[in-house]
Amino acid sequence: IGLLYAINTAGAIAGALMANDRVLHLLSRWRVEAATLAAVPALALAHPNRHAIVAYLPVLMAGIALRIWARGHFERGRLATTGPYALVRHPLYIGSFFLGLGVALMTGRPLLPPAFAGAFIAMYWPKALREETWQRKRWGADWERFAAAVDPLVPRGLGRQASGHGR
């Protein structure tokens, strides 16, 4: 949970710095290519062992499970507010984060998990900001109510009080 708070804070700072839509567009578009390029040296440097794989497999599996659960509640042309979307606004991205973090942890290289976390924030926060801007325009008041009740990354009630919105 502490890691999610750190990501949320870093993302808020990044959001303030990247208010320009053109910058957001460029940063959100290169995420797949950059991740693919970064994976090659990361895998070349990896030294996984059975213990690391077994120890971090639950992190990877939690990411996969969250993505599956979220995808089951996502429908194009509709504001997703059920399932994991009732808890956080970006469950697919959180699932992707845990999936990638699990792989990074399995490599046995202590610098890869923080490098992955930093790269993930740089790649996905701009995408999330653009997505929220689009949803605000598309769904209007429905989006505003949803966004006021549901945090982007950390479910309300996990280690902190909800900010006055009943659930």
Euclidean distance between CA atoms 103 and 23, whole angstroms: 29
Check pLDDT > 70 for residue 147. yes
Angstrom distances, CA of residue 54 to CA of 46, 50, 59, 146: 15, 6, 10, 38
Q: Residue 16 above 70 pLDDT?
A: no
Confidence of residue 164 (pLDDT cuts 50, 70, 90): very low
Question: pLDDT tens, 104-142?
Answer: 999 999 999 999 999 898 888 888 988 999 999 999 999
pTM more than 0.85: no
Q: What is the mean pLDDT of residues 74-96?
A: 94
